[in-house]
Structures are given as structure tokens and as C-alpha cells.
């Protein structure tokens, strides 16, 4: 076999292997690996322990739904939140589980599963800060994470204040929290559970108090100011309906079996 | 110089093969360049035409202008500071005192050997945390942090460029200056540095253009610069191409005037050299392949 025909033959072999590989992943079946895009760390939804293990509410829900209920393998892929929907649609991963709020703009780009979590946008401040109400935020610096509904909520407040709010957008929520501790912003606007985790871990941080959206909606309102009420969903590429249906059934099953409550209690009622 | 001239003395179309034929090589070059241009313009034109939303382009324009003005201000301040500091670093680097030159060397190795992003994080997140929670006195620290980071980082590169420029000045210049009674410092200032500056200018200009592009990292410490506007628009509209057009144009609107400025400075520093007239002679296609 001369060099040229060798190259041709091996090229054909690789092409065949490639096609076979693709077919494999389309036929689905047991043990198939689902890649999950997620912005890590976003405590307590997805973060690494000091030992390096990935844990969090989303991670355990993924374990329960994908591994236990549906018999898939899964792996998390860390990515930045502001470009996460583009990455999903580019095929970098199969689904997004990243404490993602379901909203209309996003729903035009992706399909969401049934909601699996209710969250509120809230503000955390330093204890002893002179901010005591939403109105006190007029004209100050607030920290948010790029591309989050916290950023959207901050933009809504800025509009309400006729532009008198300076929003600093960080790549990850930890950057915004650092900025709060470092006196660069006076408040961080973000999901209640993540803010709560941060406030719990740091004695000098507390929620901005007051009644808000949640109380207005007559919900079982938390004891701090809520700017918006939102629901999280798992995001799928449009047209991935069969798989989405499967996952919805999985979500329903873990709620039924009490597994969901177990995980919820582990992260939010400890 | 004689090398460059002798290359052109080779007879055209010699028996040594096709590639020795000057005109043929020139034609092939033109065809390749023309094809490249056509493909780039075609793909770019088609993409811009089909992907860019003119309404959005207009809506987001003011946001990019604001970011652009901020970038310009950061670049001007960091540029002036980093070139000034870099000259000092370069001089320290060639100091005859081992303490001075080793300190300068350590400085350069550190700032050139670690990523700028690390340095920015060190300054932006690290330094304020040395104060207690909420005690750090400077607000809007991201802007000073950006200027400090860019300055320290690029002073290291400018320092190396200056050292290179000084070393490229022949030893005889210093010896001659000393032999007519100048002190080392005086000789450095009057004789060596003007020549070293000319040698180093291209490298320094290059570095300063890299400084402009390095401002794109500032999005990671929440400076509302050009990439930040892109990311914000993109994450709200899911449209990458429309804001990308502005990103490209606004960065070029910083770097193109800068490379023009570097060119002017180089021409000014080049006084007394015969380089330009020589280049002219070499560049013109003289009949008969050019002779000396």
C-alpha cells in the first residue's frame, strides 16, 4: 500500500467511526451521557467543595432525575452564564441546569422543563449599612452577575429611579459578593437562596428587609424584601421534545417519591 | 545593505526554475491576495447583511460610545504611565549596580511571567480584602485597579524594549562620549538614549497597541468597557453579530490612530538616517533589476 492509498483508507475508517459515533448518540439508550451546562460556582445550586467535589441543589436534582430515574450518565460542564444559552444552541451541551429562571426572552431561544424551584430576587447589604429600604438604593452602586435575572431586576429598579442606580456587572456572583465586602457596591441583587447562603456564611452580611412582590402576590412570603418572583427550569434546545418530556416525568417522579423534598431539605432547611 | 542590493541583481527568468522569475512570483502573489480579499469581503458582507439588525445597531450605539470614551481615557493614562515607568525600569535594568539591575529584573520577570488577568484580580480583589469588611476607603476601585494593573504590566514590557534599544547602540558610542569627558549619566542622556529611543520605538508602539487590546480583560473586574457592552447586549438579545460589529469598529477606532501616531513618532525619531532614501531606492522597480 503506498502512502496515498494508505491515507485514503485510514481517512475512510475514521469517517466511518465518526458516523458510527454520531449514530450511537442519537439512538439514546441506557447509560448515555448527558452533558449539562452550568455556571459554576453558584452556591448552593452548583459549587465545588474544598475537596473539589461538585455538589449543590442542581447537581443532586440532576443525579436524582438523570441517573436514578432515567438511567443516564451525566456530566457537568462549567461555562459562563451570560453566554450559556448560545452555548446550548451551539451544541456544547444537551441541557442547562444553572438555577435558570424561566422568562419570556429565554423561552424564545430554548424550551424549559416544568419549573423545579421558586426563587425571589433579593438584595443583600452589609450589616450596619444605612440602606433600609428599596428607595434608599437610589443613586448607589449595586453589584449583579452578568446576564442574570438579578441584572434584569436591577435594570428595572434603575428605570424606576430614572437612571439613578449604578449597576456593576460581574462575571460570577462571587465577584459581586467580594465587591460588597470590599466596599465597591452597597448591595448585591441576586436570587434569594444564593444570597441567603452568602449571608449565612458571613456575619456582616444581611438581607435588605421589607415587603415586596412575594407579599403582594399573597404567597408564602419570605421575611425579606422580594423584588421579583421567579421559577427555575431546565433548559433544552428547541425541538428536543422527547427528551424534555422524559425529564419532566423524571422531575414529577422525584417529587412523588419524596426525593425532591429530601434534597430541598438538605440545602435550604438545614 | 549590500546583501539586499545583491539579491535584486539576480537576472530575471534565470535557468534556476519558475520561482526565480520575478514577474511570475509577483502575479501569483497578486492572485492569492485578490482571492483572499474577495473571500473575506464576500463572507463578511454576506454575514453583516444577513445577521446584523440595523435597528439594534442604532439602539446600542450610545452604549458603545460611552464604553469607548472610558477605554480611551484608561488607555491614555495607562499609556503615559507605563511608558514613563518602563523607561525607568529599562534604565534600572542596565544599571551597573547589581542591586538595582536585579530588582528591575525581578520586576520584569514577575509582571511578564504572570498573566495580566491574575495581576488585575490581585489588585481588584486582593488588595481591598486586606482592609476589614466594608472598610476599604476607595470607591469605584475598578478604574484605579485597571490603570494600576495595565501600567505595572506594560511597564515591564516597555522596560525590556528600552533595554533592547539601549543594548543595540554600539559600545563605541559610550566609549566615545566618555573619552571626550562626559560622565556616564551625561553620555547616557545626551548620546545613548536618543538612539536607544529610536531603536525601541517600534517595540514600544507595538506594546501600547497590545495595551489597548488588554483593556478587554477589564470586563472581568466589572469595568463597563467595550466587551462588557457586547456581553450585556448579547445576553439580553441573543444576537452576537450586531454588537460584534461595533466591538470591532470601536477597537479599531483606538488602535488605528495609535499605530498612525507610532508611525509619526518613528519618522520623527528617524532624523538623520538614510533609511528612507534607501528604502525608496530599493522599493522602486528599476529597469534592469537595479544596480548599485
Can you identify the CATH homologous superfamily of domain B63-289? MetI-like (1.10.3720.10)
Distance from CA of B128 to the nearest CA of A (A): 5
DSSP secondary structure code for residue A101 in this structure: B
User: Residues near A255 by Cβ (< 8 Å), separated by ≥ 6?
Assistant: A261
Amino acid B48: pLDDT: 87
Tens-level pLDDT at each residue, chain B (292 residues): 444 444 555 554 445 566 778 888 899 999 999 999 999 999 999 988 898 999 999 999 999 999 999 999 999 999 999 999 999 999 999 999 999 999 999 999 999 999 999 999 999 999 998 988 888 888 889 999 999 999 999 999 999 999 999 999 999 999 999 999 999 999 999 999 999 999 999 999 999 999 999 999 999 998 999 999 998 888 888 888 999 999 999 999 999 999 999 999 888 887 666 555 555 555 544 444 444 4
Give the C-alpha separation, A61 to A58, whole Å.
5
Question: How many CB atoms lie under 10 A from the CB of residue A212?
Answer: 22
Q: Is any Cβ of chain A less than 8 angstroms from the Cβ of B240?
A: yes
Query: Is residue A135 located within the same domain as residue A124?
Result: yes
Q: What is the largest CA-CA distance in chain A?
A: 82
Amino acid A102: pLDDT: 95
Strand, coil or helix: what is A2? coil
- Distance of CA B107 to CAs A36, B83, B157, Å? 43, 15, 10
Question: How many CB atoms lie under 10 A from the CB of residue B169?
Answer: 18
Give the C-alpha separation, A116 to B255, whole Å.
49
Domain chopping of chain B, boundaries: 1-51, 63-289
Can you tell me the mean pLDDT for A101-109? 93
What would the grid cell of residue A79 be?
Answer: 461555562
Whether A147 sits inside 8 A of B141 (CB atoms) is: no
Give the C-alpha separation, A247 to A238, whole Å.
14
Whether B220 sits inside 8 A of A183 (CB atoms) is: no
Domain presence at residue A44: yes
Is A77:A35 a contact under the CB 8 Å cutoff?
yes
DSSP secondary structure code for residue A46 in this structure: B
Distance from CA of B82 to the nearest CA of A (A): 26
Give the C-alpha separation, B184 to B181, whole Å.
9
Q: Please state the φ and ψ torsions of residue A122, each to the nearest 5 degrees.
A: -140, 170
Query: Among B128, B135, B222, whose Cβ lies nearest the Cβ of A170?
Result: B222
Can you tell me the mean pLDDT for A7-27? 48
Domain presence at residue A13: no
Q: How many domains does chain A have?
A: 2
Number of H helices, E strands in chain B: 12, 0
Compute the half-sphere exposure of residue A194: CA atoms within 13 Å on the CB side of its CA: 32
DSSP secondary structure code for residue A235 in this structure: E
- The CA R_g of chain B, rounded to the nearest whole Å, is 25
Query: Is residue A111 located within the same domain as residue A36?
Result: yes
Amino acid A75: pLDDT: 94
The residue count of chain B comes to: 292
Query: Is residue A191 located within the same domain as residue A259?
Result: no
The H-or-E segment that residue B101 falls in is helix B98-113
Query: Is residue A129 located within the same domain as residue A152?
Result: yes
Q: What is the pLDDT of residues B223-253, one digit of tens each?
A: 999 999 998 888 888 888 999 999 999 999 9
Query: Among A108, A170, A183, whose Cβ lies nearest the Cβ of B139?
Result: A183
Query: Is residue A218 located within the same domain as residue A127?
Result: yes
- Distance of CA A16 to CAs A3, A20, A62, A227, B277, Å? 20, 6, 33, 55, 62
Query: Is residue A200 located within the same domain as residue A213?
Result: yes
Domain presence at residue A2: no
What would the grid cell of residue B159 be?
Answer: 522596560
Range of the domain at A248: 31-116+233-268
Point out which residues pair with A124 in neighbouring strands: A188, A207
The H-or-E segment that residue B32 falls in is helix B22-51
The H-or-E segment that residue A120 falls in is strand A117-126
Query: Is residue A135 located within the same domain as residue A224?
Result: yes
Residue A50 maps to which CATH number?
3.40.190.10
Contacts of A182 in chain B (CB under 8 A): 125, 128-129, 131, 136, 141
| Cis ω before B174 (30° cut-off from 0) | no
Q: Is any Cβ of chain A less than 8 angstroms from the Cβ of B125?
A: yes
Is B242:B57 a contact under the CB 8 Å cutoff?
yes
Query: Is residue A82 located within the same domain as residue A138?
Result: no
Q: Which chain B residues in 217-236 lie under 8 Å from chain A, judged by CB atoms? A: 219-222, 224, 228, 231-232, 234-236
User: Residues near B72 by Cβ (< 8 Å), separated by ≥ 6?
Assistant: B254
Amino acid at each position: 500500500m503506498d502512502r496515498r492509498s494508505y491515507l485514503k483508507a485510514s481517512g475512510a475508517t475514521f469517517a466511518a467511526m465518526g458516523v458510527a459515533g454520531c449514530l450511537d448518540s442519537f439512538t439514546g439508550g441506557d447509560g448515555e451521557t448527558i452533558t449539562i451546562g452550568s455556571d459554576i460556582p453558584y452556591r448552593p445550586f452548583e459549587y465545588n467543595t474544598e475537596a473539589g467535589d461538585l455538589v449543590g441543589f442542581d447537581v443532586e436534582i440532576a443525579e436524582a432525575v438523570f441517573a436514578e430515574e432515567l438511567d443516564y450518565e451525566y456530566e457537568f460542564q462549567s461555562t459562563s452564564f451570560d453566554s450559556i444559552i448560545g452555548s446550548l444552541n451551539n451544541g456544547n451541551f444537551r441541557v442547562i441546569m444553572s438555577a435558570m429562571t424561566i422568562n419570556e426572552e429565554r423561552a424564545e431561544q430554548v424550551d424549559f422543563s416544568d419549573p423545579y424551584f421558586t426563587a425571589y430576587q433579593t438584595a443583600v447589604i452589609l450589616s450596619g449599612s444605612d440602606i433600609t429600604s428599596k428607595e434608599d438604593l437610589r443613586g448607589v452602586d449595586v453589584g449583579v452577575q452578568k446576564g442574570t435575572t438579578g441584572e434584569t431586576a436591577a435594570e428595572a429598579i434603575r428605570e424606576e429611579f430614572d437612571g439613578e442606580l449604578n449597576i456593576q456587572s460581574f462575571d460570577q456572583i462571587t465577584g459581586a459578593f467580594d465587591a460588597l465586602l470590599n466596599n465597591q457596591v452597597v448591595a448585591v441583587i441576586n436570587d434569594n437562596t444564593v444570597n441567603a447562603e452568602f449571608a449565612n456564611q458571613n456575619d456582616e452580611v444581611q438581607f435588605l428587609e421589607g415587603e415586596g412582590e412575594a407579599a403582594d402576590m399573597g404567597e408564602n412570603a419570605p421575611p425579606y424584601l422580594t423584588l421579583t418572583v421567579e421559577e427555575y427550569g431546565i433548559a433544552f434546545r428547541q425541538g428536543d421534545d422527547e427528551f424534555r418530556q422524559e425529564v419532566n416525568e423524571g422531575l414529577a417522579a422525584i417529587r412523588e417519591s419524596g426525593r425532591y423534598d429530601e434534597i430541598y431539605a438538605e440545602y435550604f432547611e438545614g | 545593505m549590500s546583501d539586499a542590493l545583491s539579491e535584486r541583481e539576480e537576472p530575471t527568468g534565470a535557468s534556476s526554475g519558475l520561482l526565480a522569475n520575478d514577474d511570475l512570483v509577483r502575479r501569483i502573489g497578486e492572485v492569492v491576495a485578490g482571492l483572499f480579499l474577495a473571500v473575506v469581503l464576500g463572507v463578511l458582507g454576506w454575514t453583516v447583511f444577513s445577521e446584523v439588525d440595523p435597528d439594534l445597531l442604532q439602539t446600542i450605539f450610545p452604549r458603545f460610545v460611552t464604553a469607548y470614551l472610558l477605554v480611551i481615557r484608561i488607555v491614555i493614562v495607562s499609556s503615559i504611565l507605563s511608558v514613563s515607568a518602563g523607561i525607568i525600569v529599562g534604565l534600572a535594568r542596565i544599571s551597573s549596580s547589581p542591586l538595582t539591575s536585579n530588582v528591575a529584573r525581578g520586576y520584569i520577570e514577575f509582571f511578564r511571567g504572570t498573566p495580566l488577568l491574575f495581576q488585575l484580580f490581585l489588585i481588584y480583589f486582593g488588595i481591598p480584602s486586606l482592609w476589614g469588611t466594608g472598610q476599604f476607603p476607595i470607591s469605584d476601585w475598578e478604574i484605579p485597579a485597571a490603570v494600576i494593573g495595565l501600567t505595572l504590566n506594560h511597564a515591564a514590557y516597555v522596560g525590556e524594549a528600552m533595554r533592547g534599544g539601549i543594548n543595540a547602540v554600539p559600545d563605541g558610542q559610550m566609549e566615545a562620549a566618555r573619552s571626550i569627558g562626559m560622565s556616564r549619566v551625561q553620555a547616557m542622556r545626551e548620546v545613548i538614549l536618543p538612539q536607544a529611543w529610536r531603536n525601541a520605538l517600534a517595540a514600544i508602539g507595538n506594546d501600547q497597541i497590545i495595551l489597548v487590546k488588554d483593556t478587554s480583560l477589564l470586563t472581568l473586574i466589572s469595568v463597563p468597557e467595550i466587551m462588557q457592552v457586547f456581553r450585556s447586549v448579547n445576553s439580553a438579545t441573543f444576537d452576537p453579530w450586531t454588537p460584534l460589529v461595533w466591538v470591532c469598529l470601536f477597537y479599531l477606532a483606538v488602535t488605528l490612530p495609535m499605530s498612525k501616531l507610532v508611525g509619526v513618532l518613528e519618522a520623527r525619531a528617524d532624523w538623520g538616517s538614510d533609511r528612507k532614501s534607501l528604502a525608496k531606492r530599493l522599493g522602486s522597480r528599476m529597469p534592469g533589476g537595479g544596480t548599485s
